[in-house]
C-alpha cells in the first residue's frame, strides 16, 4: 500500500473514530443529579488586584462638598471661526492600582485597597475622605473595575479577550461568550491560568463534566484570567492528516455513499 492510500485509510479511520466519539466525554455536569453544594464558597465578591484600572466617583446631593474628589479630564475643545466651544462630556479620571495595592486619590493621597472587595473599597475611601467633608453631608462612594477582562482560547468557537461589565463572571459565562467549546474540546481538562501576587501564573484544570466545579475557587474568574481548552486526540490526528487528504477522504466517502445508493436503486 503506497503512502497516498495509507493517508486515505488513516483519514477514513479518523472520520469513523470522530463520528463514534464517546458521548460521555461531551455533556457538562454529568453527576448533577446526586450533587450537593458543599457551601464552602458562599457568595462571591471580587477583590481589587494590582494593575486594576478603577473608576471612582463620590456622590452627594451637595455637589460642591465632594467636587474636589471627582477629578475630571478637561473637556475637549473645538475652535471654529475664532470661537472656542466645548462639546461632549468630561471623563472621570481612572485610578491605576500599583503593585503595592495603592491608588493616589485627590486630596487624601495614597489609599491602600489591594485585596479589598468593591464594597470594602468604597467604605475605606469614604472613611479616608470624611475629615475633608463638612459634617452632616450625606455622600457615598462608587467604585467600578474598568479593565475586568478574561481571555478564552483553544477549542472554542470564538476565541477572544472579553471585557466583563459586571463585578463577577464564571467560567461557564466566559465559555458562553466564546460560543462554547467545540466537539473537539477536552471537557475534562479546561485550564485556567491566573496571575498571582508576585506576577507569576498558576495553572489549574477543571473537569466541566463534574458538577463539583461549582465549588472550585476557579469557578469564578478573576481579572485577566486565561481560559484554555485543549483539543482532544481526534482533533490532533485530524490536523496531522492535512487539508488535501481530508478533501480526498470526503470525496471517497461521498463516492461510497453514492455507490451504495445507486446499488440499492438499481438492485
Q: What is the pLDDT of residue 114?
A: 95
Cα gap 85→78, rounded to integer Å: 5
Cα gap 70→78, rounded to integer Å: 24
Cα gap 208→170, rounded to integer Å: 12
Q: What is the pLDDT of residue 30?
A: 80
Provide the angle, in degrees to the nearest 10, between the axes of the packed helices 243-266 and 3-19.
70
pLDDT at 99 over 80: yes
Q: Is the four-CA dihedral 62, 66, 70, 71 of positive or negative sign?
A: positive
pLDDT at 16 over 60: no
Cα gap 61→155, rounded to integer Å: 51
For 157-197, the pLDDT digits (tens) are: 999 999 998 888 999 999 999 999 999 999 999 999 999 87
Q: What is the pLDDT of residue 48?
A: 96
Residue with cell 491560568: 193
Contact indicator for 133, 65 with CB cutoff of 8 Å: yes
> Does the global pTM surpass 0.85?
no
- Average of per-residue pLDDT values in the chain: 79
CA distances from 164 to 33, 98, 146, 148, 155 (A): 31, 21, 9, 6, 21
Contact indicator for 203, 192 with CB cutoff of 8 Å: yes
C-alpha cell of residue 213? 466545579
Of 9-18, 149-158, 185-194, give the lowest mean pLDDT range. Answer: 9-18
The residue ranking higher by pLDDT, 19 or 98, is 98
Cα gap 139→69, rounded to integer Å: 12
| Furthest C-alpha separation in the chain | 98
C-alpha cell of residue 264? 440499492
Q: What is the pLDDT of residue 74?
A: 44
Pairing type for strands 226-231 and 149-154 reads parallel
Mean pLDDT in residue range 207-231: 92
List % helix, strand, coil for the chain (3-state, nearest 5). 35, 30, 40
Mean pLDDT in residue range 226-237: 79
Amino acid at each position: 500500500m503506497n503512502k497516498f492510500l495509507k493517508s486515505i485509510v488513516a483519514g477514513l479511520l479518523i472520520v469513523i473514530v470522530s463520528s463514534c466519539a464517546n458521548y460521555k466525554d461531551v455533556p457538562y455536569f454529568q453527576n448533577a443529579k446526586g450533587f450537593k453544594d458543599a457551601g464552602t464558597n458562599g457568595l462571591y465578591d471580587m477583590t481589587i488586584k494590582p494593575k486594576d484600572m478603577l473608576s471612582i466617583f463620590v456622590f452627594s446631593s451637595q455637589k460642591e462638598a465632594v467636587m474636589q474628589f471627582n477629578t475630571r479630564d478637561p473637556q475637549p475643545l473645538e475652535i471654529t471661526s475664532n470661537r472656542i466651544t466645548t462639546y461632549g462630556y468630561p471623563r472621570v479620571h481612572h485610578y491605576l492600582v500599583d503593585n503595592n495595592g495603592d491608588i493616589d486619590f485627590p486630596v487624601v493621597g495614597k489609599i491602600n485597597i489591594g485585596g479589598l472587595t468593591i464594597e470594602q473599597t468604597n467604605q475605606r475611601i469614604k472613611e479616608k475622605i470624611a475629615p475633608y467633608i463638612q459634617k452632616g453631608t450625606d455622600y457615598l462612594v462608587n467604585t467600578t473595575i474598568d479593565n475586568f477582562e478574561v481571555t478564552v482560547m483553544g477549542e472554542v468557537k470564538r476565541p477572544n479577550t472579553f471585557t466583563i461589565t459586571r463585578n463577577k463572571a464564571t467560567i461557564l459565562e466566559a465559555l458562553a461568550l466564546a460560543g462554547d467549546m467545540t466537539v473537539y474540546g477536552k471537557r475534562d481538562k479546561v485550564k485556567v491560568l491566573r496571575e498571582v501576587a508576585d506576577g507569576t501564573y498558576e495553572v489549574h484544570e477543571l473537569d466541566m463534566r463534574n458538577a463539583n466545579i461549582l465549588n472550585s475557587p476557579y469557578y469564578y474568574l478573576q481579572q485577566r484570567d486565561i481560559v484554555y481548552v485543549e483539543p482532544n486526540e481526534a482533533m490532533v490526528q485530524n490536523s496531522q492528516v492535512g487539508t488535501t487528504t481530508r478533501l480526498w477522504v470526503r470525496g471517497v466517502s461521498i463516492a461510497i455513499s453514492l455507490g451504495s445508493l445507486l446499488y440499492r436503486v438499481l438492485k
